[in-house]
Amino acid sequence: MMTTQEQYIAKIKQLVIKRFGSNISSADDCVALSDAVEKEVGIRIDMPTLQMLFSRNSRVVTPRPMVLSALAKYVGYTGWSDFCATCNINGDDDNPKIPVYRRRGVIAAVCTAVVVVVAGVVLFVGRGGDEPKKSDAPTAYDYLVEDVADDWLVRTKEHYLELRIYDGVNNLAFDKHVAEFYEEFTAGLTTFIANDIRTKAAEKGLDISGEDVNASAAGVANRCIAIIDELRTGNTEEISE
């Protein structure tokens, strides 16, 4: 029998799938869902986390509070606490609950953000004139890519070790889940990292070509895959970030 927490997680998964419009079973689905959540609530959930939650039987895997809160907001609640307090986990209604006042709040927040961004762009263009700021881009971009890489290296280790905890001493199940994780994780890894790089570059006002972004993402992905390979062979002490 599932605990109350597991019932709430099962319910939020049900509502997210309903809101998303289709089952979430592949790396591409997880990327699309992450984009949808970020567009709706401004929070990005990484692909491995969504794969752990949706791509296999993960009843005992409890996502981080930030992830649960983001998914609750995606289906119309103000957060995870609000979802747990108001959602009927035993009810038959599997439609996402999106109260009108919450939708209005989201729309108002988005409109405000758009106005602020437009005003900032106008101000920047007005002050900057025709002077290009290309000289700072390479150094800033290199720092940005390394920041993204550090984040993904940590995530990779965390998700791999979560599988070890999930399967305990059952090595056969662990080997099977690791193989599945490796295949799904690496399938869309470069694309997902590239999305993170583009997002951070846009936030910092860096104009980077798609070719450079893809090349950087491929490099970071290779480092993440190398960590998985090292962990699979048990050489964790030799791994360096």
pLDDT in tens, 203-219: 888 888 888 889 998 88
141 and 225 both lie in a single domain: yes
Q: How many domains does the chain have?
A: 2
- Domain boundary pick from 53, 86, 119: 86
pTM tops 0.75: no
146 and 227 both lie in a single domain: yes
Token digits of residue 138: 């390479």
81 and 144 both lie in a single domain: no
Residue 121 lies in a domain: no
Q: How far apart are CA 106 and CA 102, in angstroms?
A: 6
Residue 120 lies in a domain: no
CA dihedral 117, 20, 85, 5 (to 10 degrees): -120
82 and 142 both lie in a single domain: no
CB neighbours (10 Å) of residue 149? 21
Better-predicted residue by pLDDT, 145 or 188: 145
Residue 60 lies in a domain: yes
- Domain boundary pick from 55, 86, 117: 86
Residue 91 lies in a domain: no
Q: How far apart are CA 65 and CA 128, in angstroms?
A: 41
- Domain boundary pick from 86, 103, 121: 86
The pLDDT > 70 percentage for the chain reads: 67
Residue 112 lies in a domain: no
64 and 146 both lie in a single domain: no
226 and 146 both lie in a single domain: yes
74 and 168 both lie in a single domain: no
Q: Which domain holds residue 61?
A: 4-86
Residue 95 lies in a domain: no
Q: How far apart are CA 96 and CA 46, in angstroms?
A: 22
Greatest mean pLDDT among 12-21, 128-137, 182-191 lies in 12-21
For the cut 50, the answer to whether the pLDDT of residue 241 exceeds it is no
Which of 18-27, 88-97, 205-214 bottoms out in mean pLDDT, i.e. has the lowest? 88-97
Does residue 36 sit in helix, strand or coil?
A: helix
Token digits of residue 217: 């993402």
Q: What are the residues whose beta carbons fall under 8 Å from the beta carbon of 180, sequence distance 6 or more?
A: 55, 56
Token digits of residue 211: 């070719």
CA distances from 239 to 22, 146, 180, 191 (A): 38, 17, 22, 24
